[in-house]
Amino acid sequence: MSLFVFDRVLAAFTMGGHMLFTYWAISLPFFIVTAEYLGYKRNDPYYLAIAKRFSIVMAVLFAVGSALGAAIAVEFITVWYKWMYVVNEVDILPFEIEVLAFFSEVIFLSLYLYGWDRVSRNAHMMLGLLVGVGSTASALLIILVNSWMNTPVGFNIVQFAQTGAITNVDPLGSLWPPAANAEVPMGVAGAWFVGFGSLAGYFSFRKLFKKNLTHDEVEYYNRGLKLAIFLAAIDAIFLGWAGDNAGKTLYAIQPLKLATLEGVMQTAKGAPMSVGPISIPGGLALLSTWPPNPNALVLGYSSFVQSVQDPIWWVAHNAYDLHATLGILGALVFWILAAFTFFKLPSLKNAFKFLGLDAPLDKKVPLYVTLLIGWLQLIAWESGWVAAETGRQPFVIWGPMVATSSGLYTIEAGMLTSQGFNNNPDVLPIGIAIMTAIVIAVVGTLYILRRLFSGKEVAQDVASLTTTFGSTSAQSPNIPSLKSVNSNDQGKKKVM
C-alpha cells in the first residue's frame, strides 16, 4: 500500500471511529435533560433513573470520543499538514472557537454530574442543556471547516489555485462558507436522529432479551423507549427538511458533487431519481430545484473534464444510496411508532393489530423493528459521512468551477488530495499504532458500558431516587409523593 493510500485510510479510519461517539455527544444531553424534566414534572422516579444512569454513560462516551478527537487533531497537523497550513492561514477561526466550545462542554458536563442533589433542579437542567449546546456548537464549528473545504471562501481562491499564493485573507468571511447551509443542518439533525434512534434500539433490545423483567424494569424501559421514539419522530421532520435542503444547495453550488452522489453520468433535463433498482422520472430535477422543476437541467459527468471526475464515484454513490434509504425508512418507522404510541387511533390500531401496533411498546414485532431500524441509523450515519467525504474527490480543498474552451466544465484545484498528504515513511508505524489504539478504545468502551451497571438493578436506582426526589403513589403505591418530600427546601424540591 502506498503512503498516499495509507494516509487516506488512516484519516478515514480515525474519523470513522470518532464518528461512533460524536452523535452521542450531540444527542444524549438533550435526551437526558428531557428525561430529568419529565421526572420532575410527573413525579416519576423512572425518568429520573434514566437521566441519572445515562448521565454516567454520557461521561464515558465523552471521554473516549474526546481522545479520538485529539487523535484526529494530531493527524491534521502531521499526516495532512499541507492542508492544515492553508487552514491555518485562512480558516483557523472555527477551530479556535471550537476549543472554547469544547472547554465549555467539559466544564458544564462536570458541573452537571457533580450537581445532582447539590443545585436547584432548574439550575441542574440548565447545566445539562449547556452541555448539549456546547457539544452541538463544537460539532457545528468542525462542520464549518468541512464546508469550507467544499466551498472555500475568505481568500482569493482563484489566485491560490493558479499560483499557490494565499492573498486577500478575510477570517470572518471564511467562517460560514456556502456549503454550510447544507452541511450544518444535515450534520446536527442527523446526529440527533442517530442518537435517539440508537436509544430506541437499546430499550427495545432490553425489553426483548432481558429475562425475567421486573415491574421496575418494565416501567424504566417503557419510559426510555417512549421518549426516544418521540424525540426521533420530532427530529425526523427536521432531518427531512435538512436532506431536501442539502440536495438543493448542492445543485446550486456543487453540481459535480451532486452528480457523484446521485450517480448521474449524463447531463439531462428532467434527470430521474434512482435508488437501487427504482427510478423515478424527473425526480432528481424536481427535488434539486427551487421552485421545483421536473424538467430542470441536471449536470452529469458528461459535462465535466475527466481529470476532475471522482475516480471512486461509485463509493460515494452507493454510500449515499444506503444513507438515504436507511434514513427515509427510519423516519417512516418512527413516525408510525410515535403515532400508534401517543395517539389513541382505535380503528387503526385494531386494523394493524396483526403487526402489534395496538401495543407497540409491548408486542414483539414493533420492538424488533425498532431495534433493527434504530441501530441501522448508525450505518446510515457512517455511510453519510463516507458519501460526503469521498464525494469531494479528487480534491481536499475544492476550487471554483469554470468552463473550458471545449464547452466542458472543470474545477480549478484549490488543493488536490494527492498534494496534501505526508509521504514520510514514519507515518506508517505511527498510523498503525493509532489504528490499533482506536480498536482497543472502541472495544474497551463497549466492555465498560456493559459492565457499568452490572449488579446494580433498576429497582435500586428507583429506590434511591424515591428517597431523594419522591414519586407519585399512582406509579408506585409504596413511595410517597414528590410533593410531600422536603417541602421546606426553599423551593429546590418543588415540583416543576
pLDDT in tens, 25-66: 999 999 999 999 999 999 999 999 999 999 999 999 999 999
Residue 295 maps to a domain: yes
Give whole-number Cα distances, 199 to 15, 230, 378, 384, in Å. 22, 11, 11, 20
In this structure, is residue 16 part of a structural domain? no
* pLDDT exceeds cutoff 60 at 490: no
Domain count, the chain: 1
The reported pLDDT for the residue numbered 480 is 38
The pLDDT of residue 486 is above 90: no
For residue 370, give its domain range. Answer: 185-392
- Looking at residue 423, its pLDDT comes to 93
CA–CA dist 88, 179 (Å, integer): 20
DSSP state of 396: E
Domain presence at residue 80:
no
Does residue 209 belong to any structural domain of this protein?
A: yes
In a domain, 315, yes or no: yes
pLDDT of residue 482: 41
User: Is residue 32 in some structural domain?
Assistant: no
What is the structure's pLDDT at 478? 37
Mean of the per-residue pLDDT values for the chain?
91
Query: Which pLDDT value is given to residue 468?
Result: 56
Q: Identify the three-state secondary structure at position 114.
A: helix
Residue 311 is assigned to a structural domain of this protein? yes
CA 98 to chain centre: 17
3-state secondary structure of 33: helix
Residue 369 confidence (pLDDT): 98
259 vs 251: CA distance, rounded Å:
9
C-alpha cell at 288: 434539486
Contacts of 363 (CB under 8 A, 6+ apart): 355, 356, 357
Q: Is 459's pLDDT higher than 90?
A: no
pLDDT digits (tens, 9 = 90+) for 227-259: 999 999 999 999 999 999 999 999 999 999 999
**DSSP alpha helices (H): ranges in 277-426?**
283-288, 313-342, 346-351, 364-390, 417-420
Whether 95 and 87 have beta carbons less than 8 Å apart is answered as: yes
- Tell me what pLDDT residue 472 has: 40
In the block, residue with C-alpha cell 440548565: 126
How many other β-carbons are positioned within 10 Å of the β-carbon of residue 328?
16
Q: What letter does residue 474 receive in the DSSP assignment?
A: T
| 200, 221 contact by CB (below 8 A) | no
Beta bridge partners of 297: 269
Q: What percent of the chain has pLDDT above 90? A: 87
Give mean pLDDT, residues 417-428. Answer: 93
Model pTM? 0.91
Check residue 485 and give its pLDDT: 36
CA gap 124, 140 in Å, rounded: 24
Q: Please, what sign has the CA dihedral across residues 270, 276, 277, 278?
A: negative
Residue 429 lies in a domain: no
Rounded Cα distance, 309 and 24, in Å: 35
Asked whether 216 and 47 are in contact (CB, 8 A), the reply is: no
Strand spans (E) along 270-311: 273-275, 278-280, 297-298
